[in-house]
Protein backbone atom coordinates (compact mmCIF):
# COMPACT_ATOMS: atom_id res chain seq x y z
CA UNK A 1 0.00 0.00 0.00
CA UNK A 2 2.68 2.45 1.14
CA UNK A 3 6.34 1.58 0.84
CA UNK A 4 9.33 3.79 1.67
CA UNK A 5 12.67 2.43 0.43
CA UNK A 6 15.76 4.21 1.70
CA UNK A 7 14.09 7.58 1.48
CA UNK A 8 16.18 10.70 1.98
CA UNK A 9 14.73 14.16 1.92
CA UNK A 10 16.59 17.41 2.24
CA UNK A 11 15.38 20.96 1.80
CA UNK A 12 17.40 23.72 0.25
CA UNK A 13 17.16 25.99 3.28
CA UNK A 14 16.89 23.66 6.24
CA UNK A 15 19.04 20.76 5.12
CA UNK A 16 18.38 17.11 5.82
CA UNK A 17 14.85 16.31 6.99
CA UNK A 18 14.79 12.53 6.47
CA UNK A 19 17.59 10.04 6.27
CA UNK A 20 17.31 6.50 4.97
CA UNK A 21 13.71 5.87 5.99
CA UNK A 22 12.30 2.49 5.02
CA UNK A 23 8.99 0.99 6.07
CA UNK A 24 5.85 -0.46 4.67
CA UNK A 25 2.20 -0.01 5.53
CA UNK A 26 -0.08 -2.85 4.52
CA UNK A 27 -3.72 -2.96 3.63
CA UNK A 28 -5.95 -2.32 6.62
CA UNK A 29 -3.10 -1.56 9.02
CA UNK A 30 -3.16 1.16 11.68
CA UNK A 31 0.25 2.78 12.02
CA UNK A 32 1.39 5.63 14.22
CA UNK A 33 4.32 7.82 13.35
CA UNK A 34 5.65 9.47 16.47
CA UNK A 35 8.56 11.63 17.38
CA UNK A 36 9.31 15.09 18.71
CA UNK A 37 8.37 18.21 16.87
CA UNK A 38 10.62 18.75 13.86
CA UNK A 39 11.52 15.07 13.63
CA UNK A 40 10.17 14.70 10.10
CA UNK A 41 6.70 13.24 10.63
CA UNK A 42 4.91 15.72 8.42
CA UNK A 43 7.54 15.30 5.76
CA UNK A 44 6.87 11.54 5.68
CA UNK A 45 3.16 12.16 5.24
CA UNK A 46 3.74 14.76 2.51
CA UNK A 47 5.82 12.22 0.68
CA UNK A 48 2.90 9.81 0.95
CA UNK A 49 0.51 12.09 -0.88
CA UNK A 50 3.20 13.32 -3.26
CA UNK A 51 3.29 16.88 -2.07
CA UNK A 52 7.03 16.40 -1.75
CA UNK A 53 9.26 14.05 -3.64
CA UNK A 54 12.20 12.24 -2.09
CA UNK A 55 15.70 13.51 -2.71
CA UNK A 56 16.89 9.92 -2.78
CA UNK A 57 15.19 6.55 -2.53
CA UNK A 58 11.67 5.63 -3.56
CA UNK A 59 8.19 6.20 -2.19
CA UNK A 60 5.56 3.91 -3.60
CA UNK A 61 1.92 4.50 -2.76
CA UNK A 62 -0.93 2.42 -4.15
CA UNK A 63 1.12 1.50 -7.20
CA UNK A 64 2.44 4.99 -7.93
CA UNK A 65 6.19 5.32 -7.63
CA UNK A 66 7.96 8.57 -6.84
CA UNK A 67 10.67 7.42 -9.25
CA UNK A 68 8.38 7.44 -12.25
CA UNK A 69 5.14 9.39 -12.33
CA UNK A 70 3.50 12.11 -14.34
CA UNK A 71 1.89 15.14 -12.74
CA UNK A 72 -1.54 13.95 -13.88
CA UNK A 73 -1.13 10.81 -11.77
CA UNK A 74 -1.05 12.77 -8.53
CA UNK A 75 -4.74 13.83 -8.45
CA UNK A 76 -5.71 10.23 -9.24
CA UNK A 77 -3.63 8.97 -6.35
CA UNK A 78 -5.06 11.55 -3.95
CA UNK A 79 -8.56 10.35 -4.72
CA UNK A 80 -7.53 7.00 -3.30
CA UNK A 81 -6.21 8.66 -0.12
CA UNK A 82 -7.96 10.57 2.61
CA UNK A 83 -5.91 13.39 4.08
CA UNK A 84 -6.54 15.01 7.47
CA UNK A 85 -4.60 17.82 9.16
CA UNK A 86 -4.23 19.31 12.58
CA UNK A 87 -5.80 22.58 11.41
CA UNK A 88 -8.81 20.88 9.72
CA UNK A 89 -8.49 22.92 6.50
CA UNK A 90 -12.18 23.50 5.97
CA UNK A 91 -13.61 26.17 3.72
CA UNK A 92 -14.88 28.76 6.16
CA UNK A 93 -17.47 30.25 3.83
CA UNK A 94 -19.28 26.97 3.18
CA UNK A 95 -21.38 24.89 5.46
CA UNK A 96 -20.57 21.38 6.63
CA UNK A 97 -22.45 19.70 3.82
CA UNK A 98 -20.77 21.81 1.15
CA UNK A 99 -17.34 21.12 2.61
CA UNK A 100 -17.86 17.40 2.27
CA UNK A 101 -19.59 17.66 -1.11
CA UNK A 102 -16.59 19.64 -2.34
CA UNK A 103 -14.37 16.55 -2.33
CA UNK A 104 -16.92 14.67 -4.42
CA UNK A 105 -17.55 17.49 -6.89
CA UNK A 106 -13.86 17.99 -7.43
CA UNK A 107 -13.57 14.45 -8.70
CA UNK A 108 -16.50 14.85 -11.04
CA UNK A 109 -18.99 12.71 -9.11
CA UNK A 110 -22.50 12.72 -10.65
CA UNK A 111 -24.49 15.47 -8.85
CA UNK A 112 -27.39 13.14 -8.10
CA UNK A 113 -25.13 10.96 -5.97
CA UNK A 114 -23.45 13.74 -4.03
CA UNK A 115 -26.34 14.60 -1.70
CA UNK A 116 -27.09 11.09 -0.41
CA UNK A 117 -23.40 10.27 -0.12
CA UNK A 118 -22.73 13.40 1.94
CA UNK A 119 -25.59 12.54 4.29
CA UNK A 120 -24.20 9.07 4.81
CA UNK A 121 -20.69 10.38 5.48
CA UNK A 122 -21.93 12.94 8.00
CA UNK A 123 -23.93 10.26 9.77
CA UNK A 124 -20.83 8.08 9.86
CA UNK A 125 -18.79 10.75 11.65
CA UNK A 126 -21.70 11.61 13.95
CA UNK A 127 -22.57 15.02 12.50
CA UNK A 128 -25.86 14.19 10.79
CA UNK A 129 -27.59 16.98 12.68
CA UNK A 130 -25.14 19.74 11.78
CA UNK A 131 -25.16 19.53 8.01
CA UNK A 132 -26.02 23.20 7.51
CA UNK A 133 -23.77 24.68 10.20
CA UNK A 134 -20.73 26.75 9.24
CA UNK A 135 -17.30 25.54 10.39
CA UNK A 136 -16.93 28.43 12.86
CA UNK A 137 -20.13 27.36 14.55
CA UNK A 138 -18.61 23.98 15.42
CA UNK A 139 -16.24 22.83 18.15
CA UNK A 140 -12.73 21.74 17.19
CA UNK A 141 -13.66 18.08 17.50
CA UNK A 142 -16.68 18.60 15.27
CA UNK A 143 -14.64 20.47 12.69
CA UNK A 144 -12.20 17.60 12.59
CA UNK A 145 -15.10 15.22 12.05
CA UNK A 146 -16.13 17.26 9.03
CA UNK A 147 -12.57 17.01 7.71
CA UNK A 148 -12.64 13.26 8.25
CA UNK A 149 -15.97 12.95 6.45
CA UNK A 150 -14.43 14.87 3.57
CA UNK A 151 -11.37 12.60 3.62
CA UNK A 152 -13.65 9.55 3.45
CA UNK A 153 -15.70 10.93 0.58
CA UNK A 154 -13.90 9.05 -2.16
CA UNK A 155 -13.62 5.74 -0.31
CA UNK A 156 -9.92 5.94 0.39
CA UNK A 157 -7.76 2.87 0.77
CA UNK A 158 -5.67 4.68 3.35
CA UNK A 159 -6.29 7.64 5.63
CA UNK A 160 -3.25 9.86 6.16
CA UNK A 161 -3.57 12.07 9.23
CA UNK A 162 -1.05 14.65 10.42
CA UNK A 163 -1.55 15.39 14.13
CA UNK A 164 -5.32 15.18 13.75
CA UNK A 165 -5.81 15.62 17.48
CA UNK A 166 -3.14 18.28 17.94
CA UNK A 167 -5.65 21.09 18.37
CA UNK A 168 -8.16 19.15 20.43
CA UNK A 169 -8.75 18.74 24.11
CA UNK A 170 -8.49 15.40 25.86
CA UNK A 171 -12.12 14.45 25.39
CA UNK A 172 -12.34 15.43 21.73
CA UNK A 173 -9.07 13.64 21.11
CA UNK A 174 -10.50 10.40 22.37
CA UNK A 175 -13.60 10.80 20.27
CA UNK A 176 -11.64 11.48 17.10
CA UNK A 177 -9.27 8.65 17.77
CA UNK A 178 -12.17 6.27 18.26
CA UNK A 179 -13.54 7.42 14.91
CA UNK A 180 -10.22 6.52 13.29
CA UNK A 181 -10.39 3.11 14.94
CA UNK A 182 -13.89 2.56 13.56
CA UNK A 183 -12.80 3.60 10.09
CA UNK A 184 -9.83 1.27 10.33
CA UNK A 185 -12.08 -1.55 11.50
CA UNK A 186 -14.02 -1.28 8.26
CA UNK A 187 -10.86 -1.97 6.27
CA UNK A 188 -9.25 1.42 5.61
CA UNK A 189 -5.57 1.64 6.51
CA UNK A 190 -4.61 4.58 8.74
CA UNK A 191 -1.26 6.31 8.94
CA UNK A 192 -1.33 8.85 11.74
CA UNK A 193 1.42 11.20 12.80
CA UNK A 194 1.24 12.38 16.39
CA UNK A 195 3.45 13.40 19.24
CA UNK A 196 0.80 12.47 21.77
CA UNK A 197 2.61 9.57 23.45
CA UNK A 198 -0.29 8.89 25.78
CA UNK A 199 -2.53 8.27 22.86
CA UNK A 200 0.00 5.99 21.19
CA UNK A 201 0.68 4.03 24.32
CA UNK A 202 -2.96 3.42 25.06
CA UNK A 203 -3.83 2.48 21.51
CA UNK A 204 -1.41 -0.38 21.21
CA UNK A 205 -1.03 -0.12 17.44
CA UNK A 206 2.05 -0.44 15.33
CA UNK A 207 4.31 2.55 15.95
CA UNK A 208 7.15 4.02 13.97
CA UNK A 209 9.29 6.49 15.83
CA UNK A 210 11.25 9.19 14.06
CA UNK A 211 13.93 11.34 15.57
CA UNK A 212 15.90 13.96 13.68
CA UNK A 213 14.89 12.47 10.38
CA UNK A 214 15.87 8.94 11.23
CA UNK A 215 13.72 5.94 12.05
CA UNK A 216 14.66 4.93 15.53
CA UNK A 217 11.97 2.37 16.13
CA UNK A 218 9.33 0.32 14.34
CA UNK A 219 7.22 -1.95 16.51
CA UNK A 220 6.54 -4.17 13.49
CA UNK A 221 10.19 -5.15 13.21
CA UNK A 222 11.07 -4.82 16.86
CA UNK A 223 9.71 -7.57 19.11
CA UNK A 224 10.40 -5.50 22.19
CA UNK A 225 7.36 -3.28 21.87
CA UNK A 226 4.41 -4.21 24.05
CA UNK A 227 1.27 -2.14 24.08
CA UNK A 228 0.60 -1.01 27.62
CA UNK A 229 -3.12 -1.37 27.14
CA UNK A 230 -5.41 -2.95 24.58
CA UNK A 231 -7.15 -0.62 22.18
CA UNK A 232 -10.57 -1.51 23.60
CA UNK A 233 -9.58 0.17 26.83
CA UNK A 234 -10.30 3.48 25.13
CA UNK A 235 -14.01 3.31 25.95
CA UNK A 236 -13.33 2.75 29.60
CA UNK A 237 -11.50 6.05 29.74
CA UNK A 238 -14.48 8.10 28.62
CA UNK B 1 -18.05 22.40 -16.58
CA UNK B 2 -21.30 23.46 -14.94
CA UNK B 3 -19.52 23.44 -11.61
CA UNK B 4 -16.71 25.57 -13.01
CA UNK B 5 -19.21 28.08 -14.36
CA UNK B 6 -20.97 28.19 -11.00
CA UNK B 7 -17.63 28.78 -9.27
CA UNK B 8 -16.75 31.54 -11.72
CA UNK B 9 -20.07 33.30 -11.16
CA UNK B 10 -19.68 32.82 -7.44
CA UNK B 11 -16.36 34.62 -7.69
CA UNK B 12 -18.22 37.72 -8.88
CA UNK B 13 -20.60 37.49 -5.96
CA UNK B 14 -17.86 36.85 -3.42
CA UNK B 15 -15.76 39.83 -4.47
CA UNK B 16 -18.08 42.24 -6.24
CA UNK B 17 -15.77 45.22 -5.72
CA UNK B 18 -12.70 43.44 -7.03
CA UNK B 19 -14.67 42.06 -9.97
CA UNK B 20 -16.10 45.46 -10.83
CA UNK B 21 -12.63 46.92 -10.54
CA UNK B 22 -11.10 44.42 -12.91
CA UNK B 23 -13.93 44.75 -15.41
CA UNK B 24 -13.55 48.52 -15.42
CA UNK B 25 -9.78 48.40 -15.74
CA UNK B 26 -10.13 46.07 -18.68
CA UNK B 27 -12.80 48.36 -20.08
CA UNK B 28 -10.64 51.44 -19.67
CA UNK B 29 -7.54 49.94 -21.21
CA UNK B 30 -9.56 48.65 -24.13
CA UNK B 31 -11.38 51.98 -24.27
CA UNK B 32 -8.08 53.86 -24.54
CA UNK B 33 -7.05 51.43 -27.22
CA UNK B 34 -10.41 51.87 -28.90
CA UNK B 35 -10.19 55.65 -28.83
CA UNK B 36 -6.86 55.49 -30.53
CA UNK B 37 -8.30 53.01 -32.97
CA UNK B 38 -11.09 55.47 -33.73
CA UNK B 39 -8.60 58.27 -34.31
CA UNK B 40 -6.54 56.06 -36.60
CA UNK B 41 -9.68 54.89 -38.38
CA UNK B 42 -10.80 58.45 -39.02
CA UNK B 43 -7.36 59.64 -40.09
CA UNK B 44 -7.25 56.77 -42.53
CA UNK B 45 -10.68 57.58 -43.85
CA UNK B 46 -9.73 61.23 -44.26
CA UNK B 47 -6.48 60.33 -45.96
CA UNK B 48 -8.27 58.01 -48.32
CA UNK B 49 -10.53 60.88 -49.32
CA UNK B 50 -7.58 63.14 -49.96
CA UNK B 51 -5.73 60.40 -51.72
CA UNK B 52 -8.66 59.88 -54.07
CA UNK B 53 -7.79 63.27 -55.44
CA UNK B 54 -4.19 62.42 -56.29
CA UNK B 55 -3.80 63.33 -59.93
CA UNK B 56 -1.05 63.72 -62.51
CA UNK B 57 -1.41 66.67 -64.81
CA UNK B 58 0.70 66.83 -67.96
CA UNK B 59 0.61 70.17 -69.79
CA UNK B 60 0.42 69.87 -73.51
CA UNK B 61 2.52 72.20 -75.70
CA UNK B 62 0.67 74.62 -77.98
CA UNK B 63 0.08 73.37 -81.46
CA UNK B 64 0.17 69.67 -80.61
CA UNK B 65 -1.97 67.73 -83.04
CA UNK B 66 -5.21 66.19 -81.88
CA UNK B 67 -4.02 62.80 -83.19
CA UNK B 68 -0.89 62.93 -81.06
CA UNK B 69 -2.81 63.77 -77.89
CA UNK B 70 -5.51 61.20 -78.45
CA UNK B 71 -2.91 58.52 -79.20
CA UNK B 72 -1.18 59.48 -75.96
CA UNK B 73 -4.52 59.34 -74.12
CA UNK B 74 -5.02 55.81 -75.40
CA UNK B 75 -1.51 54.76 -74.38
CA UNK B 76 -1.72 56.27 -70.93
CA UNK B 77 -5.21 54.88 -70.43
CA UNK B 78 -3.71 51.44 -70.97
CA UNK B 79 -1.24 51.88 -68.05
CA UNK B 80 -2.09 49.34 -65.40
CA UNK B 81 -1.98 52.12 -62.78
CA UNK B 82 -4.35 54.46 -64.58
CA UNK B 83 -7.92 54.68 -63.39
CA UNK B 84 -8.99 57.40 -65.80
CA UNK B 85 -7.42 59.69 -68.33
CA UNK B 86 -8.95 62.77 -69.83
CA UNK B 87 -7.99 65.69 -71.91
CA UNK B 88 -8.64 69.21 -70.67
CA UNK B 89 -8.60 71.47 -73.69
CA UNK B 90 -7.51 75.11 -73.60
CA UNK B 91 -11.14 76.17 -73.64
CA UNK B 92 -12.04 73.88 -70.73
CA UNK B 93 -9.02 75.06 -68.77
CA UNK B 94 -10.11 78.65 -69.23
CA UNK B 95 -13.66 77.87 -68.19
CA UNK B 96 -12.42 76.16 -65.10
CA UNK B 97 -10.11 79.02 -64.18
CA UNK B 98 -12.91 81.52 -64.67
CA UNK B 99 -15.26 79.48 -62.58
CA UNK B 100 -12.74 79.18 -59.79
CA UNK B 101 -11.66 82.79 -59.77
CA UNK B 102 -15.08 84.37 -60.16
CA UNK B 103 -14.86 88.13 -60.43
CA UNK B 104 -11.27 88.15 -61.62
CA UNK B 105 -12.20 85.98 -64.56
CA UNK B 106 -11.58 88.81 -66.99
CA UNK B 107 -7.81 88.62 -66.58
CA UNK B 108 -7.72 85.43 -68.62
CA UNK B 109 -7.60 85.54 -72.33
CA UNK B 110 -8.28 82.79 -74.75
CA UNK B 111 -5.18 80.68 -75.26
CA UNK B 112 -3.28 81.75 -72.18
CA UNK B 113 -3.85 78.48 -70.34
CA UNK B 114 -2.39 75.32 -71.84
CA UNK B 115 -4.35 72.16 -72.50
CA UNK B 116 -3.52 69.27 -70.23
CA UNK B 117 -3.88 65.54 -69.82
CA UNK B 118 -5.19 64.59 -66.40
CA UNK B 119 -4.53 61.12 -65.08
CA UNK B 120 -6.12 59.63 -62.02
CA UNK B 121 -4.61 56.52 -60.52
CA UNK B 122 -6.24 53.38 -59.23
CA UNK B 123 -6.30 52.83 -55.45
CA UNK B 124 -3.09 51.15 -54.40
CA UNK B 125 -1.07 53.11 -56.96
CA UNK B 126 -1.27 56.45 -55.23
CA UNK B 127 1.93 56.25 -53.22
CA UNK B 128 4.68 58.75 -54.04
CA UNK B 129 6.98 56.27 -55.76
CA UNK B 130 4.33 54.99 -58.13
CA UNK B 131 3.02 58.46 -58.84
CA UNK B 132 6.53 59.63 -59.72
CA UNK B 133 7.19 56.59 -61.92
CA UNK B 134 3.96 57.11 -63.85
CA UNK B 135 4.74 60.81 -64.23
CA UNK B 136 8.15 59.93 -65.66
CA UNK B 137 6.58 57.68 -68.24
CA UNK B 138 4.18 60.43 -69.32
CA UNK B 139 6.97 62.99 -69.44
CA UNK B 140 8.66 61.17 -72.34
CA UNK B 141 6.06 62.43 -74.80
CA UNK B 142 7.61 65.26 -76.83
CA UNK B 143 4.58 67.46 -76.54
CA UNK B 144 4.54 67.39 -72.76
CA UNK B 145 5.81 70.77 -71.58
CA UNK B 146 5.54 70.34 -67.92
CA UNK B 147 4.16 67.78 -65.50
CA UNK B 148 2.71 68.27 -62.05
CA UNK B 149 1.63 65.78 -59.50
CA UNK B 150 1.91 67.64 -56.23
CA UNK B 151 5.15 65.92 -55.31
CA UNK B 152 5.73 67.25 -51.78
CA UNK B 153 2.12 66.94 -50.86
CA UNK B 154 1.76 63.37 -51.93
CA UNK B 155 4.84 62.58 -49.93
CA UNK B 156 3.72 64.47 -46.86
CA UNK B 157 0.41 62.75 -46.96
CA UNK B 158 2.04 59.40 -47.01
CA UNK B 159 4.45 60.19 -44.26
CA UNK B 160 1.55 61.31 -42.11
CA UNK B 161 -0.31 58.12 -42.74
CA UNK B 162 2.70 55.96 -42.01
CA UNK B 163 3.31 57.77 -38.75
CA UNK B 164 -0.35 57.38 -37.80
CA UNK B 165 -0.28 53.66 -38.55
CA UNK B 166 2.98 53.12 -36.72
CA UNK B 167 1.84 55.08 -33.69
CA UNK B 168 -1.40 53.15 -33.73
CA UNK B 169 0.34 49.80 -33.76
CA UNK B 170 2.83 50.82 -31.07
CA UNK B 171 0.19 52.28 -28.77
CA UNK B 172 -2.14 49.40 -29.45
CA UNK B 173 0.48 46.87 -28.43
CA UNK B 174 1.32 48.88 -25.33
CA UNK B 175 -2.30 49.01 -24.30
CA UNK B 176 -2.75 45.31 -24.97
CA UNK B 177 0.21 44.50 -22.73
CA UNK B 178 -1.05 46.85 -20.03
CA UNK B 179 -4.47 45.23 -20.23
CA UNK B 180 -2.99 41.74 -19.88
CA UNK B 181 -0.96 42.84 -16.87
CA UNK B 182 -3.96 44.45 -15.22
CA UNK B 183 -6.18 41.45 -15.82
CA UNK B 184 -3.35 39.17 -14.77
CA UNK B 185 -2.98 40.94 -11.47
CA UNK B 186 -6.69 41.14 -10.71
CA UNK B 187 -7.03 37.42 -11.38
CA UNK B 188 -3.88 36.93 -9.34
CA UNK B 189 -5.54 38.66 -6.42
CA UNK B 190 -8.53 36.37 -6.90
CA UNK B 191 -6.21 33.36 -7.04
CA UNK B 192 -4.36 34.42 -3.88
CA UNK B 193 -7.64 35.15 -2.12
CA UNK B 194 -8.59 31.56 -2.87
CA UNK B 195 -5.16 29.99 -2.37
CA UNK B 196 -6.47 28.00 0.59
CA UNK B 197 -9.37 26.69 -1.38
CA UNK B 198 -7.08 25.77 -4.26
CA UNK B 199 -4.72 23.95 -1.90
CA UNK B 200 -7.64 21.97 -0.46
CA UNK B 201 -8.98 21.20 -3.93
CA UNK B 202 -5.65 19.74 -4.90
CA UNK B 203 -5.44 17.73 -1.67
CA UNK B 204 -8.74 16.03 -2.35
CA UNK B 205 -7.63 15.16 -5.87
CA UNK B 206 -8.70 17.98 -8.18
CA UNK B 207 -6.77 18.05 -11.44
CA UNK B 208 -4.99 21.23 -12.47
CA UNK B 209 -7.51 21.64 -15.27
CA UNK B 210 -10.33 21.51 -12.77
CA UNK B 211 -8.65 24.11 -10.58
CA UNK B 212 -7.93 26.33 -13.55
CA UNK B 213 -11.33 26.21 -15.25
CA UNK B 214 -13.26 28.62 -12.99
CA UNK B 215 -10.48 31.20 -13.19
CA UNK B 216 -10.27 30.95 -16.95
CA UNK B 217 -14.03 31.35 -17.19
CA UNK B 218 -13.83 34.28 -14.77
CA UNK B 219 -11.12 35.92 -16.87
CA UNK B 220 -13.06 35.26 -20.05
CA UNK B 221 -16.24 36.75 -18.62
CA UNK B 222 -14.45 39.78 -17.22
CA UNK B 223 -12.65 40.31 -20.51
CA UNK B 224 -15.87 40.05 -22.48
CA UNK B 225 -17.70 42.40 -20.13
CA UNK B 226 -14.75 44.79 -20.22
CA UNK B 227 -14.67 44.66 -24.00
CA UNK B 228 -18.39 45.35 -24.23
CA UNK B 229 -18.13 48.20 -21.77
CA UNK B 230 -15.17 49.65 -23.68
CA UNK B 231 -17.23 49.54 -26.85
CA UNK B 232 -20.08 51.39 -25.16
CA UNK B 233 -17.66 53.98 -23.75
CA UNK B 234 -16.04 54.48 -27.16
CA UNK B 235 -19.46 54.89 -28.71
CA UNK B 236 -20.42 57.49 -26.12
CA UNK B 237 -17.13 59.32 -26.62
CA UNK B 238 -17.73 59.33 -30.34
CA UNK B 239 -21.25 60.66 -29.87
CA UNK B 240 -19.79 63.56 -27.88
CA UNK B 241 -17.13 64.22 -30.53
CA UNK B 242 -19.71 64.07 -33.30
CA UNK B 243 -21.88 66.51 -31.49
CA UNK B 244 -19.24 69.07 -30.54
CA UNK B 245 -16.14 68.59 -32.68
CA UNK B 246 -16.23 66.82 -36.01
CA UNK B 247 -18.30 64.23 -37.74
CA UNK B 248 -16.37 61.00 -37.29
CA UNK B 249 -17.22 57.42 -38.09
CA UNK B 250 -17.49 54.49 -35.68
CA UNK B 251 -16.23 50.92 -35.95
CA UNK B 252 -18.33 48.72 -38.16
CA UNK B 253 -20.04 45.82 -36.34
CA UNK B 254 -17.25 43.49 -37.33
CA UNK B 255 -14.59 45.63 -35.73
CA UNK B 256 -16.80 46.02 -32.66
CA UNK B 257 -17.06 42.24 -32.37
CA UNK B 258 -13.31 41.95 -32.81
CA UNK B 259 -12.91 44.41 -29.91
CA UNK B 260 -15.09 42.33 -27.60
CA UNK B 261 -13.31 39.13 -28.64
CA UNK B 262 -10.01 40.92 -28.00
CA UNK B 263 -11.25 41.72 -24.49
CA UNK B 264 -12.16 38.07 -23.95
CA UNK B 265 -8.74 36.97 -25.20
CA UNK B 266 -6.97 39.46 -22.96
CA UNK B 267 -9.02 38.18 -20.02
CA UNK B 268 -8.19 34.57 -20.84
CA UNK B 269 -4.50 35.30 -21.39
CA UNK B 270 -4.21 37.26 -18.15
CA UNK B 271 -5.94 34.63 -16.04
CA UNK B 272 -4.15 31.70 -17.69
CA UNK B 273 -0.88 33.43 -16.89
CA UNK B 274 -1.58 34.00 -13.20
CA UNK B 275 -3.24 30.65 -12.50
CA UNK B 276 -0.48 28.85 -14.35
CA UNK B 277 2.14 30.59 -12.30
CA UNK B 278 0.32 29.83 -9.07
CA UNK B 279 -0.16 26.16 -9.90
CA UNK B 280 3.47 25.83 -10.82
CA UNK B 281 4.55 27.33 -7.52
CA UNK B 282 2.55 25.10 -5.18
N1 LIG C 1 8.85 23.00 3.09
C2 LIG C 1 9.96 22.93 3.84
N3 LIG C 1 11.03 23.69 3.53
C4 LIG C 1 12.14 23.64 4.28
N5 LIG C 1 12.28 22.87 5.35
C6 LIG C 1 11.25 22.08 5.73
C7 LIG C 1 10.04 22.08 4.98
N8 LIG C 1 9.19 21.22 5.57
C9 LIG C 1 9.86 20.71 6.64
N10 LIG C 1 11.09 21.21 6.73
C11 LIG C 1 12.09 20.86 7.74
O12 LIG C 1 12.15 19.48 7.88
C13 LIG C 1 12.26 19.10 9.25
C14 LIG C 1 11.13 18.18 9.59
O15 LIG C 1 9.91 18.88 9.61
P16 LIG C 1 8.50 18.20 9.78
O17 LIG C 1 8.43 17.01 8.89
O18 LIG C 1 7.46 19.23 9.61
O19 LIG C 1 8.56 17.74 11.28
P20 LIG C 1 7.41 17.24 12.24
O21 LIG C 1 6.16 17.13 11.44
O22 LIG C 1 7.88 15.93 12.77
O23 LIG C 1 7.28 18.24 13.33
C24 LIG C 1 12.26 20.38 10.03
O25 LIG C 1 13.59 20.66 10.39
C26 LIG C 1 11.72 21.41 9.11
O27 LIG C 1 12.34 22.65 9.33
MG1 LIG D 1 4.36 18.16 11.66
Sequence-distant (≥ 6) Cβ neighbours of residue A91 within 8 angstroms: A98, A99, A102, A135, B196, B197, B200
Quickly state the pLDDT bin for B133 (edges 50, 70, 90).
Answer: confident
Q: What would the mean pLDDT of B227-235 be, rounded to a whole number?
A: 89
Quickly state the pLDDT bin for B154 (edges 50, 70, 90).
Answer: low
pLDDT tens-place string over residues B33-72: 777 777 777 777 777 777 777 788 888 888 788 888 888 8
B252/chain A closest Cα distance in angstroms = 43
Q: Which CATH class is domain A1-80+157-225+233-238?
A: alpha beta
pLDDT(A68) > 90: yes
User: Measured between alpha carbons, how far is B190 from B208 in angstroms, rounded to an integer?
Assistant: 17
Sequence-distant (≥ 6) Cβ neighbours of residue A173 within 8 angstroms: A141, A165, A196, A199
A75/chain B closest Cα distance in angstroms = 4
pLDDT(A66) > 90: yes
pLDDT(A236) > 60: no
pTM of the predicted model over 0.95: no
pLDDT(A140) > 80: yes
Chain A, nearest residue to B201 by Cα: A106
Q: Report the nearest-CA residue for atom 26 of ligand 1.
A: A38
Q: What would the mean pLDDT of B69-88 be, rounded to a whole number?
A: 86
- Report ipTM for this prediction: 0.83
- Among B135-144, B155-164, B195-204, B243-252, the range scoring the smallest mean pLDDT is B155-164
Give me the half-sphere count of Cα atoms (radius 13 Å) on the Cβ side of residue B171. Answer: 18
A12 vs B164 pLDDT, higher one: A12
A12/chain B closest Cα distance in angstroms = 15
Q: Which CATH class is domain B55-148?
A: alpha beta
B258 Ramachandran zone, left/alpha/beta (phi>0; psi -120 to 50): alpha
Indicate yes or no: CB of A103 within 8 angstroms of CB of B202: no
Q: What is the pLDDT of residue A74?
A: 94
- Among A31-35, A39-43, B49-53, the range scoring the smallest mean pLDDT is B49-53
Q: Where are the domains of chain B?
A: 2-49+158-281, 55-148
A106 CB near a chain B CB, below 8 Å?
Answer: yes
Yes or no: say if A173 and A200 are a contact pair by the CB < 8 Å rule. Answer: no
- Please give the mean pLDDT across all residues of chain B: 81
B34 vs A182 pLDDT, higher one: A182
User: Measured between alpha carbons, how far is A51 from B84 in angstroms, rounded to an integer?
Assistant: 77
User: Measured between alpha carbons, how far is B220 from B206 in angstroms, rounded to an integer?
Assistant: 21
Sequence-distant (≥ 6) Cβ neighbours of residue B72 within 8 angstroms: B117, B138, B141, B143
Indicate yes or no: CB of B206 within 8 angstroms of CB of A93: no
CATH 3.40.50.300: which residues of chain A?
A: 1-80+157-225+233-238
CA of A162 from ligand 2 middle (Å) equals 7
Q: What is the pLDDT of residue A213?
A: 95
pLDDT tens-place string over residues B268-281: 888 888 888 888 86
Q: What is the pLDDT of residue B281?
A: 67
- Write the residue in A71, A72, A78 that is nearest to B204 by C-beta: A78
Chain B, nearest residue to A90 by Cα: B200
Q: What is the pLDDT of residue A237?
A: 40
Which ligand sits closest to the CA of A14? 1
DSSP annotation string for A122-149: HHHTT-GGGTT--GGGS-HHHHHHHHHH
Q: What is the pLDDT of residue A87?
A: 95
Q: Report the nearest-CA residue for atom 12 of ligand 1.
A: A17
Q: What would the mean pLDDT of B117-142 be, rounded to a whole number?
A: 85
| Percent of chain B's residues with pLDDT above 70 | 94
Pick the closest to residue B205 from A147, A74, A63 (CA basis).
Answer: A74
Which ligand sits closest to the CA of A51? 1
Quickly state the pLDDT bin for B110 (edges 50, 70, 90).
Answer: low
User: Measured between alpha carbons, how far is B221 from B169 in angstroms, rounded to an integer?
Assistant: 26
- Write the residue in B199, B200, B206 that is nearest to A75 by C-beta: B206
- Among A26-35, A39-48, A202-211, B41-50, the range scoring the smallest mean pLDDT is B41-50
Q: What is the pLDDT of residue A165?
A: 95
pLDDT tens-place string over residues B168-204: 778 777 877 877 787 778 778 878 888 888 899 899 9
User: Measured between alpha carbons, how far is A193 from A32 in angstroms, rounded to an integer?
Assistant: 6
Q: What would the mean pLDDT of B113-134 be, rounded to a whole number?
A: 84
Quickly state the pLDDT bin for A232 (edges 50, 70, 90).
Answer: very low
B1 CB near a chain A CB, below 8 Å?
Answer: no
A74 vs A228 pLDDT, higher one: A74
Query: Which amino acids bring their CB within 6 angstroms of ligand 1?
Result: A 11, 13-14, 17, 35, 37-43
Q: What is the pLDDT of residue A235?
A: 41
Amino acid sequence: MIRFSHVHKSFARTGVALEDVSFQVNKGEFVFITGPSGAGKSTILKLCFFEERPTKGEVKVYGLSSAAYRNVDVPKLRRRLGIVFQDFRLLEDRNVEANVAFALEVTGAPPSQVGPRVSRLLAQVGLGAKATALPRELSGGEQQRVAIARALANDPVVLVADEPTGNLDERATRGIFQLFRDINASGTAVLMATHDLDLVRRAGCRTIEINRGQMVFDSASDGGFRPSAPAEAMEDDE
Amino acid sequence: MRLALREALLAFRRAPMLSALSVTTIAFSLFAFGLFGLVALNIRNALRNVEDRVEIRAFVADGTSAEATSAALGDIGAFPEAASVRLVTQGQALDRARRELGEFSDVFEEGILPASIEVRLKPGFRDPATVRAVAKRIEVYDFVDDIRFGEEWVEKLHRLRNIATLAGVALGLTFAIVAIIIIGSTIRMAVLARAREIAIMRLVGATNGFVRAPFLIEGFLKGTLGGGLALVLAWLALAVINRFVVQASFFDPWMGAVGVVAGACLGLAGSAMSVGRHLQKV
